[in-house]
Structures are given as C-alpha cells and as structure tokens.
A and B are shown apart, each in its own frame.
Chain A
C-alpha cells in the first residue's frame, strides 16, 4: 500500500512568488496535518484537517499561508508572496482516526526561497 506522498520534493522560489505544495495522504485517512521543519529544528505544527474541515490552523505563521482539503483527501498548502524565512521542509502527515496517535509522515517538500 502507498504511504503519504508529497510533491514536489524540492521547490526553489524567488522571494515574492506564490507556491503550492501537495500532499496525498494514505487512502481513507481522516486526519491530515501539516508541519514546518526549519533546518536543525523539530517539526512545528501548522494546521489540521478532519476530512475536508480545517479544524485547527493556529500554527499558520501568517495570513500568507493557506491550506485546503476540498474533498477530504488530497491537501494543498499554499504560501503567497514567499519570504526567505519560509525556507524549510514542509511535512504532511495523516492518521486513520480522530484519536489515533500514530501519524504517518510523507517525505516532505524542501522549499528554498532565494
């Protein structure tokens, strides 16, 4: 069975450009999470979806960050007007239930803003 996949794996953007990062969770997984991992740091929570509903977006660092999961499966994290401080690895994770403690992570998208 396929795991969580993310695309692109690497993205280079010029400052000010918009980017879109895609996450394909494990089929049937209700919960989907986005994390930001800066170099040398642990992942930091960005946002959480239960099916198509975005239940928690408290970790999004600014209003330039936007996430959606319109059909309750694939999710897209969009960053508008990218800044250098947005350079990081963006990790997506999914889990099978609301209280399921085991999250399955994707390989991440490494974003570099120049």
Chain B
C-alpha cells in the first residue's frame, strides 16, 4: 500500500484565491510527522510546513496551513492568497518514528496560479 497518496496530479487557482492540495497517508505507527515540500522548476525541494502526529493544533506557516484530520489520515495543505510564484510541484511526505530515517513522498501535485 502507498504510504502517501496525492490524488490531484494538477491544480489551477486564480491569483489571490486560496487552494487546497490533498494528501492522505497510511501508517500504523502512532508517532509520525507529516511534511509538505515545494519543488519549483529549478528542482530544489523547499520545506514548507510540518505537522507532528501528537500536535493538537493544525500547523501554520505564513500563507501555508495544514488541515490535519488524524482520524481520516489526511493532511491537506491550504495555501491562502495564491501568488504567481506559488506555481510549482507540491509534495506531501511522512516520516515514521519506527523507520526513523526514511521520508515517504507522494507523487506530487502540480499547481498553476493563473493571473
């Protein structure tokens, strides 16, 4: 089974609007971390936001917030007030306490911001 599932290969959003990128995960480990990375066309992976499995509140970092629904095993990324520079690939990833070192990545969502 896939550890991380991203079902939206491509998304479009109007500039200044909000957009939600979906991510579901699969783990039996009670302790894990969830991450979102942005990968622009230059190829570098840029860390955006982190959510720990025991965190009570949803993580927020500037215009990024993570909608964490533990029972549903979902960790959707919300980008508010989209900007043209947000156009990129977005990857959801998970790290389990038991496996420790491995990051499991999804297949990514390509976001295009329309002016």
The residues of A with any CB-CB pair to B shorter than 8 Å are 31, 33, 35, 40-45, 48, 55-56, 58-59, 89, 91, 93, 101-108, 110
The complex places the Cα of A108 from the Cα of B40 at a distance, in Å, of 12
Starting from the known contacts A35-B103, A35-B105, A42-B91, 17 additional A-B residue pairs (CB-CB under 8 Å) come to A31-B101, A33-B101, A33-B103, A41-B107, A42-B4, A42-B93, A42-B108, A43-B105, A45-B101, A45-B102, A45-B104, A56-B101, A89-B43, A102-B47, A105-B44, A108-B43, A110-B43
A105 lies within 8 A of B101 (CB) = no
Interface residues of B in 1-57 (CB under 8 A from A): 4, 33, 35, 37, 42-47, 50
Q: Find the B residue at minimum CB distance from A3.
A: B44
Interchain Cβ contacts within 8 Å, total number: 56
A108 lies within 8 A of B44 (CB) = yes
B44 lies within 8 A of A42 (CB) = no
B44 lies within 8 A of A103 (CB) = no
Which residues from A are CB-within-8-Å of B103? Answer: 33, 35, 43, 45, 103
Residues 84-97 of B, flagged 1 when their CB comes within 8 A of A and 0 if not, give 00000001010100
Instruction: Find the residue from B43, B50, B104 having the highest chain A CB count within 10 A.
Output: B43
B interface residues, tally (CB under 8 Å): 23
B107 lies within 8 A of A106 (CB) = no
The complex places the Cα of A42 from the Cα of B4 at a distance, in Å, of 10
Which residues from B are CB-within-8-Å of A104? Answer: 47
Q: Find the B residue at minimum CB distance from A105.
A: B45
Which residues from A are CB-within-8-Å of B101? Answer: 31, 33, 45, 48, 55-56
Q: Find the A residue at minimum CB distance from B105.
A: A42
B102 lies within 8 A of A91 (CB) = no
Q: Find the A residue at minimum CB distance from B97.
A: A99
Which residues from B are CB-within-8-Å of A43? Answer: 45, 91, 103, 105
Which residues from B are CB-within-8-Å of A106? Answer: 44
Known: A101-B50, A102-B50. A107 touches B4 (CB 8 A): no
B45 lies within 8 A of A93 (CB) = yes
The 6 A-B residue pairs whose C-beta atoms are closest, nearest first, are: A42-B105, A105-B45, A48-B101, A45-B102, A108-B43, A56-B101
